[in-house]
A and B are shown apart, each in its own frame.
Chain A
């Protein structure tokens, strides 16, 4: 099945810094989502982005489907951005029903 690899596994930054999180995947995708899991454990949708670029405030994401990667950009980081960021994908070649495959996540810590 499709493989998803996220990097870096851990990232520690000062408030105000910018960051780039990467998600590599091993096959074509028809669904790619970025999630943020906050320190209270809640999983929050950030972007549905199987291709192209989207922006939402200080966050933006780009997926280059032909090169099988997606990037999540966080600008002017705030302490509330801390948590774990997951990339998840589904491939049109996956057997059975629609199922997202998750990467292991990037743990982001923003220090004041």
Chain B
């Protein structure tokens, strides 16, 4: 357990609205990641961070932005949510091993 929390845990929102998901860690890990998990696609990397203010794109970054102003917090923003972004979102950190947060289930109607 790497002390990772995600908020909110569940969210329903309408198409076109902005959404921000928060990941908070207590282990002072340098690396943090956002994944989405969809049936038939496994876990896909959206964005990751290798330090405060240092972020980069993953394989499915279109429609998402991230920010990391403090070591412990990594935010994922959907600027204008679409139904294709309905998914379960996992945050993870990397210390010696990679650890995952509990996930956020997002539904875009």
Contacts of A97 in B (CB 8 A): 31, 48, 50, 56
The one of A33, A41, A48, A86 in contact with B42, judged by C-beta atoms closer than 8 angstroms, is A86
User: Given A97-B48, A99-B45, A33 and B98 touching (CB < 8 A)?
Assistant: yes
B 6-42 binary contact with A (CB < 8 Å = 1; else 0):
0000000000000000000000000101000000001
CB distance from B60 to the nearest CB of A (A): 13
Contact indicator B97/A48 (Cβ below 8 Å): yes
User: What is the total number of residues of chain A having a CB less than 8 Å from a CB of chain B?
Assistant: 19
A111 contacts the other chain (CB 8 A): no
Contacts of A99 in B (CB 8 A): 33, 45, 48, 58
A-to-B contact residues, CB < 8 Å: 31, 33, 35, 41-43, 45, 48, 86, 88, 96-100, 102-105
B-to-A contact residues, CB < 8 Å: 31, 33, 42-43, 45, 48, 50, 56, 58, 88, 90, 94, 96-100, 102-103
